[in-house]
Chain A
Amino acid sequence: MTNILSYGISLPHFRVDSSTLNPSRGRKQEQRAVIFVDEDPITLAYDAANKCLANFAAAESGHKKIDAVLFATTTPVFQNRYHASFLAELLDIPNGILALDFTSSLRAGTDALILADQLLTTGKYERVLLLAADTYFPAIGEELAPSLRTGHAGCALLLSREDGFASIAASRSYSSFIAEDFVYKGSAVQPDARFGRDAGFKSSVKHALNDFLEHTSAEAADFDAVILNSIFARSGAGPFLKNGFNAEKQFFRDILAAQFGFSGACHALMLLIHSLEREAERVLLFDCGNGTNVIDIKRIRPASPALSRQLDKGETVTSYQDYLLLRQAGNVNLKSATKQDMFSSDMMLEREKKNLLQLQGFACTGCGTVYFLKTMRCKNCKCEKFDVRKLEKTGIVFSFTREHYFPSSFAPVTMVVVDLDGGGRVTLQLTDDMYASGTRENPIGARVQLVLRKMMEQDKKPNYFWKCRFY
C-alpha cells in the first residue's frame, strides 16, 4: 500500500486580481498567483520539496532514503535535462536514484502519482518524492480566457509504504487519442471545443469511471469527495450521476482556482491535498487532459493545514503594468528596469554545488566559528581544521544597503548581511520586494529566511542561488 507521508505547498508571494487583468471582464474576488521575476518551476518545486521534507518528522534521515524523484510540469525550464535530476541535486538526494520528468499534459502530476504508486507497490523502491510545479503565462490579454485561468504554484508529496496520513487504495490511467489542446510543429492547435469536450473529455471520463468501478471493489457510496479536475469539469457530472453518485454531497468544489488560479500539472494534486485538509475520508480523484487518471485515496489521520494556511497570504499586484513587469513582458523601457547580461558557469556550479546550492559551510573545530566560504585557517583562532556543517536557512540582518544602480527590474536591489541561526554569515539580495511592503526602512535586526531563486535575470544558464525575504 502506498502512503502519503507528508506534503509541501509553494505559492508565489504575489497575486493579481482578475479585475486587474481585465477590468471589464474580471471578477474582483478571483485572484491568480504569479511568480516574481526570479522564480520558475524549479524554485517553486524546490521550495515545496523543502517544506514537504521539513513536515516529515524524520526529515534528516528521510531524504537520504529517497530513491526516486518524479517531477511534473507543463512549463519546463530545460529541454534536454531532467528537472527531477537537477532538483534531486539541489535537495542533496544521493546520486543513483530514479529521476524522471512528466511533461506535455495537464495530468502530468497524477501521471507521476500513478507511477510512484507502481514503483512502491513493486517493493523495489522505498521512498518517492513527487514534485509538481507550473508557471504558465497565457498570451497578453488572454489571461481570463476560460481555458487559461492559470496561476502559478508548486507542490511536493513524499510517498512510501511506511505509515502516512493517507494511502492510495487504487490508481489507474486511461489514455486517449484526443487532447483538449496541444502544440503541433510549434503552433497551438485548438480543435473544435465541443469535440474536445464531448468526444474527448466526456467520453474519456465515462469510460474511466465505468472501468474503474468494474475493476475495483469501490462503490459510489464509499466516497465523500469526488474531484473532477478539468477545464470541462462542469460538463462531466453525467456518468457519475448514472453510477449513483450524489453531485451535491460528493462533488468537491474547486475553490483553489479562484484563490490562486488553475495551477496546471499540479492542480489535481492541490485539490487532492485540499480535500484531505477539509477532512474528506475517502477521495476519488479524476484528473483529465488527453485521457483520464483515476486515483482512490483514503485518509488515515488528519493532515496538517499547510495549504489552507497559505491561501489568504500573498501580496496583491496593484496594476497591469506591474503584472507585465513581473512576467518581464511588454516594452519596459524604464531606467529602473535595466538589464545586463551576466556571467554564469555550469562548471562552477558543478564544482561548488555543495556550498552554493546545499548551503554546506565549515565549522572551525577550534573555536566553533562557522564560515560559508571555504577558508584555510580560521580568521578568529587560526585553527586549520573544519567540520562540514549544513547552514540554517533563517537568520538576522546585521547590515544592509539598497543599490540603486545595479541592473534590475526592480531597483533598488537591497543587499543584506545575514547572520544565520546556528552560525555562518552570508550577504544576499532581498527578493519579493517589488513594493515597499517587501522591504524595510532599516532592516538591521529583522528576521529573514533564505529562498532559492534565479540569481540573474539575463543569465545564459540556470543560475539558482539564495536570496532572502522577511518573515
Chain B
Amino acid sequence: MNKTESPNIAIIGTGCTKFGELFSKSYDDLVRDAVTEALDDAKISIDLVDAAWLSTAFPEIGVFKGRSGMDLAEPLSLYDLPVTRVSNYCASGADAIRNGVNALMAHNCDVVLALGVEKLRDRPPQDSIVKMMVEYGHPYYQKGFTAAGTFAIYANRHFKEYGVTREDLAAVSVKNHYHGTLNPKAHHRRECTVDQVLSSPMVADPLTVYDSCPTTDGASCVILVRAEDVDPSKHVPIFVKGIGLSVSTGWDMPFFDPNHDFLSFRATQQAAERAYTQAGIADPLNEIDLAEVHDCFSIVELLTYEDLGFCKPGEAKEMIRGNSTARDGELPVNVSGGLLSCGHPVGATGVRMVTEIATHLRNRAGERQVEGAKVGLAQNIGGPGAIASVTILSNEV
C-alpha cells in the first residue's frame, strides 16, 4: 500500500440525523440516532465495532462535548476500544473517515465507526461562530473578521479578476436551496430567488444571509470495513476509491501571505490531486457523476469548481450560468441542498456529504436521485481555506 494506491475500503452502513435547529435533541441524542441508523443499515451489532473516530470541530462553543473520543463512547456505552477525536475545522468529518480508512488498510482493526456531530444551537446563533472569531485566537491578527468575511474577500477578488457577479453567487444559492426542497433531512427546505438572495441582509460584503449557511445541529455516521469483508448477502457496499487531505496554509497566513491571490484554495487542489490519483480519475468533469462540495458561502462552491478541475480557472461562472451543476446538469453539485440548505454542523458535514453520495450511488435518494450515478465526490474546505479533503466514492469495486 502507498499513497497513490486506491484504498480497498467499503462503506457498509450510513446514518444521518435530520439537520436543523434540533432543540429537543442533545449532543448524545444526535450521536445515538446517527449510529443506530448506520448500524441498522449495515446489519451488524455495535459489539463488532473495534475502533471509532469522532469528529466535533468546536466543543468549546457548543456544549463542551466532543473534546475527546470518550464523548462518542459514553452515549453509546461503547467501551474498551480505541476512540479518537478528530479536529480539522470543517474538514473534521472527512478526516474521521480518512483515519478509519487508514486504520483498516493497516489491518489495525476490522470494523470502523466514523461519526461527525456538532451541537451548535444550545446557544444563540451569533454566540457560536462569531463569538469564536471575536474572543478566541490571536488578539490582534484578523480581528474584525467573521467566517463570512474571510471568504468574502475571495469573492471581491473574483469580481475583480474574473468578472464574477453578485448574480452568479446568488445563482449558487438559488440552485442549492431548490435542491434542499427535495431533501427531507435538510435544515432549510424552501426555494429562493436571485432577488431574495440579493436583497437579504448583508453579512459580509458581498455575501448576504442567503449566501451563507445557517447554524445547525446534526450528526452523521458511516461504518467501514475492508472490501474483502463485505457480506454480499447483507450489504450494499459503496467503495472509497480515493481519499486526500491537505493542509496548505494556516489560520493567519492566508491574510498575511503576499503570494496569495485569493482566487483559489491550494488545499483543495492538493487534496483532489491525491484522491484523483488513487481513484484513477483523469477527467473529473466526465468521470464524476455527482459532487457534494463545501458551499459554506456561495463563493466557495463557485471557486471549488475550478479547484477540483471541473473547469478552468475563471470559468466557474460559466458553469453556474449554464446550469451545468444543477441536478439535471452535466455534473450535479450539492443535490442534497449543500451546506446552504442542509446547514453546517461543522464536525458532521464531511460525514453527511459522504452519506449523501453513498445514498445516490445506492440509488436510494428518492426524488432527488441522480439517475445512474456510479462515481461521486465529496469535498470539504476547513479554516480559512487552509485544509481540504476530497473523497471519491464508487458503487463498483
Contacts and interface: CB of A to CB of B under 8 A. Distances in A.
B383 interface: no
A417 B258 CA distance: 10
Contact of B204 (A342, A372, A401, A417): A401
A403 B139 contact: no
Contacts of B256: 371-373, 425-427
A429 B143 CA distance: 8
B149 A340 contact: no
Mostly helix, strand, loop or mixed at chain B's interface? mixed
Contacts, number: 123
A424 B205 contact: no
Contacts of A379: 249, 253, 257, 259
A343 B132 CA distance: 11
A30 B153 CA distance: 42
B281 interface: no
B329 interface: no
B363 interface: no
A343 B139 contact: yes
B126 interface: yes
Contacts of A399: 153-154, 156-157, 160, 262
B259 A401 contact: no
Contacts of B148: 401, 403, 405
Interface in A404-432: 404-408, 412-413, 415, 417, 419, 423-429
A356 B201 CA distance: 35
B23 interface: no
B142 interface: yes
A455 interface: yes
Contact of B201 (A340, A369, A380, A404): A404
A356 B140 contact: yes
Name, among B136, B142, B203, B257, the residue most crowded by chain A CB atoms within 10 Å (CB to CB): B257
A327 interface: no
Interface string A444-459: 1000000000011000
Contacts of A240: none
A375 B250 CA distance: 11
Contacts of B154: 399
Contacts of B258: 369-371, 419, 423-425
Contact of A456 (B130, B141, B143, B253): B143
A79 B141 CA distance: 28
Contacts of B143: 342, 429, 455-456, 465
A455 B139 contact: yes
Contact of A406 (B133, B252, B253, B262): B133
B116 to A, nearest CB: 26
A425 to B, nearest CB: 4
Contacts of B138: 348
Interface string B185-214: 000000000000000011111010000000
Interface string B141-182: 111111011001111110010000000000000000000000
Nearest to B262: A399
A391 to B, nearest CB: 11
Contacts of A246: none
B134 interface: yes
Nearest to A416: B153
A273 to B, nearest CB: 33
B135 interface: yes
Contact of B139 (A345, A369, A370): A345
B202 A404 contact: yes
Contacts of B252: 373
B131 interface: yes
A355 to B, nearest CB: 9
A348 B205 CA distance: 32
A27 interface: no
B79 interface: no
B255 interface: yes
A174 interface: no
Contacts of A407: 130, 134
Contact of A415 (B139, B144, B155, B160): B144
Given A407-B134, A415-B144, A402 B204 contact: yes
A341 B136 CA distance: 11
A463 interface: yes
B144 A403 contact: yes
Contacts of A426: 255-256
Nearest to A379: B259
B262 A402 contact: no
B139 A400 contact: no
Nearest to A442: B156
Given A405-B204, A407-B130, 16 more contacts: A342-B135, A343-B135, A356-B140, A369-B258, A373-B252, A373-B256, A379-B259, A398-B157, A401-B153, A401-B207, A403-B144, A403-B146, A403-B204, A406-B149, A427-B141, A442-B156
24 contacts: A341-B135, A348-B139, A372-B256, A373-B141, A373-B253, A373-B256, A398-B157, A399-B157, A400-B153, A402-B205, A404-B201, A404-B202, A405-B130, A405-B204, A406-B134, A406-B145, A415-B144, A415-B153, A426-B256, A427-B145, A428-B144, A456-B139, A456-B143, A463-B139
